[in-house]
Amino acid sequence: MLYICRMPTERERLLRHLAPTSDSPIGLNIARAEGVYMFDPDGRKYLDLIAGISVSNVGHRHPKVVEAIKNQADTHLHLMVYGEYVQSPQVKFADQLAAVLPDNLDSVYFVNSGSEAIEGAIKLAKKATGRAGLMSFENAYHGSSNGALTLMGNEEFKHPFYPLLPETSVIRHNNFDDLKNITEETAAVFLETIQGEAGIRVPSKEFMQALRNRCTQTGALLVLDEIQCGFGRTGKMFAFEHFDIVPDILLLAKGMGGGMPIGAFIASKELMSTLSHNPILGHITTFGGHPVSCAAGSACLSVIQEEALIESVPAKEKLFRELLNHPEIKEIRGKGLMLAMQLRDSEQLFPAIDRCIENGLVTDWFLFCDSAMRIAPPLTITDEEIAEACSIINESIQN
Ligand SMILES: Cc1ncc(COP(=O)(O)O)c(C=O)c1O
């Protein structure tokens, strides 16, 4: 008997050997990506309205980022754990970041991811204040490590992993009354400056200023997570600039590396130095601040500045708001190119997302809001591409 063996497809191999994160991955096979488009192996293109969840702010494979990666790969790769040697990509990138940040955010600790930035900030806050209390907000998402999960503002997602860190509490977002829960026992309050996975929630300026004041009064450190909303996405380099406040610790990742893995927690030199003694090496990382990631991040920040991407964001937001005009759209929330398009419920949204993908546009929903569509393209998206995106989305919505 003749058996014809068929090679398993890549999708079948994904399901067989890659650890699953859900029962229903999007499962698109992407062979190449450029600018705002991704291409499957047959050359079919998809307009990317997710951008790796706010990673590809300068578009996929920006030529200046790719050139910086290649140059650094030709010079040296990893040399030594973070902080021991002088490595010029790290020094240059830290200089650039300090130059675009307020004076009290002048000391950059590079890590590998957003969750690691959270972990570093938790340790820094506990060590610097000598307190244990940590506070965060309903529907907050700060990552998947144990510390980050402790700060998560959604019981359903974190409950199976208890016990987590002690002395933590979750308060209501944008609620003035709950600020009284911040006390002299609180080491730090963690907040996404604009909440992402909650379905894009923008707090009021008054609330942000009251939060800043309450933290200052009680000596609690204000930690702003700009892992999703940083690097120009909201129409400012950093979203806290919308609210005229400055955090004690700033957290960055995602859009920071132009597509390479990197994150950072940033504070004043005085605050940060508490991690380097009693004991020495209070926080260390092998790959944090990898030279290739720093070179890519440095090029990415230069691109954001040189191509005036931030300045282009408000007009692009306006165009999305004008052209997304299907009568079933309940609301468009957010700032800049960090938007959520609200539909009735998930039963209306999920088929709309499927139709978008069939028609060459990739989008999704939010972890804690499954009735709103994510609109977060690369900041390089053109007006024509916005018009194309909105027409596909409007056509995808059914009653
Ligand atoms: C606001 C926010 N904080 C933290 C994280 C965690 O970052 P990472 O996945 O790099 O650990 C994310 C990831 O989606 C995020 O959106």
- Cα separation of 375 and 155, whole Å? 26
pLDDT for 297: 98
Reduced to 3 states (helix: H, G, I; strand: E, B; else coil), residue 36 is coil
Q: Give distance in angstroms: CA of 399 to centre of ligand 1.
A: 33
- Both tokens of 49, joined, read 């309205």
pLDDT for 25: 87
- Name the residue with the closest Cα to ligand 1, atom 16: 228
Which runs of consecutive H residues, i.e. helices, occur in 130-223?
Answer: 146-150, 155-158, 205-218
Beta-sheet strands, E only, within 32-144: 32-34, 37-39, 45-48, 107-111, 133-137
In a 10 Å sphere around its CB, with 0-12 CB exposed, 13-18 middle and 19+ buried, how is residue 167 labelled?
A: middle
Within its chain, how far is the Cα of 135 from the centroid?
Answer: 20
pLDDT for 2: 54
- Cα separation of 87 and 17, whole Å? 37
Helix/strand/coil percent split, the chain, to 5:
40, 15, 45
Q: How many CB atoms are located within 10 Å of the residue 53 CB?
A: 18
pLDDT for 1: 53
- Both tokens of 295, joined, read 């070179």
- Both tokens of 368, joined, read 């804690």
pLDDT for 375: 98
pLDDT for 138: 98
Q: How many CB atoms are located within 10 Å of the residue 260 CB?
A: 20
pLDDT for 164: 97
Q: Give distance in angstroms: CA of 63 to centre of ligand 1.
A: 26
- Name the residue with the closest Cα to ligand 1, atom 10: 114
CB 115 within 8 A of CB 208: no
- Cα separation of 138 and 158, whole Å? 12
- Both tokens of 27, joined, read 């499962």
Which of 122, 192, 228, 293 is the pocket-test mutation for ligand 1 (most atoms within 8 Å of CB)?
Answer: 228
Nearest ligand 1 atom to alpha carbon 144: 11
Residue matched to tokens 């009653």:
399
- Cα separation of 130 and 183, whole Å? 14
pLDDT for 259: 98
pLDDT for 10: 77
Which of 137, 151, 225, 227 is the pocket-test mutation for ligand 1 (most atoms within 8 Å of CB)?
Answer: 227
Measure Cα distances from 145 to 154, 164, 171, 225 in Å: 15, 10, 21, 15
Residue numbers in the chain where pLDDT is lower than 50: none
Q: Give distance in angstroms: CA of 7 to centre of ligand 1.
A: 36
